[in-house]
Amino acid sequence: ESTHALSELGPCIYDTSSPAGHPNVRRNHHAWNSNATVIFVDQPLSVGFSYGSRRVSTLADAIDDLYAFLVRLFAARPDWAERDFYVAGESYGGSWVPALGAKIMARQASPMAKLVAQTSLGGSDSAINLKGILVGNGLMDQIVQRRGFFEMGCKRPGAFLNESQCQVANRVGPRCDKLQDACKASGFNRGVCNVSDA
């Protein structure tokens, strides 16, 4: 996400008219932070500029980490509790954005969250005023989307794969489906999914 902070959504963008070897930035007049507080998160740990000694291997672990971060952030900034909160992402965000939104909603609806909200001054799950999620070009379900790639590439008018490529894809498709099913069944464990992504 940090790339987007300097190329699309953040307050500054690279000035493409700068001479080669001398990058410069200019103000982004269409920045999201013109109308909102924007937090860019490289997710999960070890992606982009994020770092740490613990390795995250499942979507559930990544969501737990990000959710814990948000709870602490909102506890530190109780003035944000009344603000509308949106979670946005693209690519793999198609998996983690809905998962994080679901976790926030489930935690806020729990009896314990309601009790904490009634008896504390802040730092509760209820401090996150989730209003919606946004996913752009998201990888939501690899199994469905990869099957769609074969359909678009080989079976539709204007198909972009040649006959030889389509024969290979058709031959390895069932194995890929099984590997992707195993990836999903593992809770998107990185070690299992790396095999299906190869």
Span 6-59, pLDDT tens digits: 667 788 887 878 777 777 888 888 888 888 888 878 777 777 777 778 777 788
**Distance separating alpha carbons of residues 84 and 128, to the nearest angstrom:** 8
**Mean predicted confidence (pLDDT) in 154-175:** 86
Question: How many helices (H) and strands (E) would you count in the chain?
Answer: 7, 4
> What is the distance between the alpha carbons of residues 24 and 17, in angstroms, rounded to a whole number?
9
pLDDT tens digits for range 116-142:
666 655 445 567 899 999 998 887 777
| pLDDT greater at residue 82 or residue 18 | 82
pTM comes to: 0.67
Banded model confidence at residue 3, pLDDT cuts 50, 70, 90: low
pLDDT tens digits for range 107-117:
887 777 667 66
Residue 74 in this model has a pLDDT that exceeds 80? yes
Band (105; pLDDT cuts 50, 70, 90): very high
Radius of gyration of the chain (CA): 21
d(CA 60, CA 100): 9
